[in-house]
A and B are shown apart, each in its own frame.
Chain A
Amino acid sequence: DAGVIQSPRHEVTEMGQEVTLRCKPISGHNSLFWYRQTMMRGLELLIYFNNNVPIDDSGMPEDRFSAKMPNASFSTLKIQPSEPRDSAVYFCASRGTGGGPQHFGDGTRLSIL
């Protein structure tokens, strides 16, 4: 079975550029989570969706960050404009109905120069 698929795996771009990270959750899962992982702050929840609706975006650091989930099989996390302090590994995770574990993708390693 396909797991959570994230793209790209790596992204290097200059500050000020727009960055879009993509996630395809596991088919049938109704919850989707975006996390950011850094050495200093560990793994932090940015936002999560239930049935494509954003439920809690209190972890989104600034207005430069936005996330969408237009349908059950796709979500994006966008940073505009990007800054060097946004450099991190960004993970997407999904979870099925009725509880159960969150399944993580392999992450996008983002470097802002």
Chain B
Amino acid sequence: TQLLEQSPQFLSIQEGENLTVYCNSSSVFSSLQWYRQEPGEGPVLLVTVVTGGEVKKLKRLTFQFGDARKDSSLHITAAQPGDTGLYLCAGSFGNEKLTFGTGTRLTIIP
């Protein structure tokens, strides 16, 4: 059973466009993390959100945790080719285990 569903699964857009990817669950998480993974490498943490409704910004990336702590979104403004990669959300129930989402594979076309 996949607890975290991400959408879209694949996204290909032109450089300079904006995009939003989603991470949804029926479970309540104590915290949620977003990772980016590039080919041949392991995932790298981008951000952790903890509080319902929390918004965090990392340059052109904006992350939001849903009020009920069941979902999250990642918005990228003016996408650049360097944003290309696999974006993974991962939820925690308060222990050290992370449940990873299905992933969104993003391609930014120059």
Contacts and interface: CB of A to CB of B under 8 A. Distances in A.
B23 interface: no
Contact of A106 (B42, B48, B88, B98): B42
Contacts of B97: 45, 48, 56
Question: Which label, helix, strand, loop or mixed, suits the secondary structure of the B interface?
Answer: loop
A48 B96 contact: yes
B16 to A, nearest CB: 30
A42 B42 contact: no
Interface string A36-78: 0000001111001010000110000000000000000000000
Contacts of A45: 97-100
Nearest to A99: B96
A93 B2 contact: no
A91 interface: yes
Contact of B100 (A43, A48, A50, A105): A43
Contacts of B28: none
B101 A42 contact: yes
Contact of A104 (B2, B33, B40, B43): B43
Interface string B95-110: 0111111110000000
Contact of B2 (A42, A48, A95): A42
17 contacts: A31-B96, A33-B96, A42-B100, A43-B88, A44-B100, A45-B98, A45-B100, A50-B96, A55-B96, A93-B42, A95-B96, A102-B98, A104-B41, A104-B44, A105-B42, A106-B40, A107-B41
